[in-house]
Amino acid sequence: MSASTNRFDPYRNFRFKIKWDGVYVAGLSKMTGLKRSTEMTEWREAGENIVARKLPGKTKYEAVTLEAGITYDTAFEDWANLVNDFASHSRTNLGDFRKNVTLDIFNEAGVKALSYNLYRAWVADYQAVPDLDASANAVAITTVKLEYEWFERDVAVVEAAGLGPARIG
């Protein structure tokens, strides 16, 4: 299947799914963006100290936050509990709390168009129940903050030609 090279319209931000352990996480309603930043290091050369050279330094990957409506699904809680087991050293395999997470973004036709992999993710914050308010008319949300070591785009995933809006003109 060839990739769509004529796409003009951006993808919608509500067309996404998250999966880990090969299974999509049901009910996910929101995810913060993937962000990477690289520190700048200044360096001056002897004899040419008028101008500072700027070099790339360490790269940092920002944590992401996942939100889902509270249901009987225990996927978030089960994963968060693995970190607690790690902290108490009660597990035989201490690496079980890390997972590779996949973010899939879909086009308007519901066909996967982009995919990103987050590697060696683990639950840093877990909020089981939000602030509760009997007079509110809101959905109860559970929140998980994931730390991870790096992300990369899965270049094997491409939007198929003819399945998305075409460039006009």
- Locate all alpha helices (DSSP H) within the chain, ordered by sequence: 75-88
Query: pLDDT tens for residues 68-116?
Result: 888 888 888 888 888 876 555 555 555 678 999 999 998 888 889 999 9
Question: CA-CA-CA-CA torsion for 144, 115, 153, 143, nearest 10 degrees?
Answer: -10
Report which of 44, 60, 76 is spatially closest to residue 142, judged by C-alpha positions. 76
Taking the whole predicted model, whether its pTM rises above 0.85 is answered as: no
pLDDT at 37: 96
The SS3 assignment for 82 reads helix
Alpha-carbon gap, residue 108 to 162, rounded angstroms: 12
Q: What is the pLDDT of residues 30-51, one digit of tens each?
A: 999 999 999 999 888 877 778 8
**Coil, strand, or helix at residue 70?**
coil
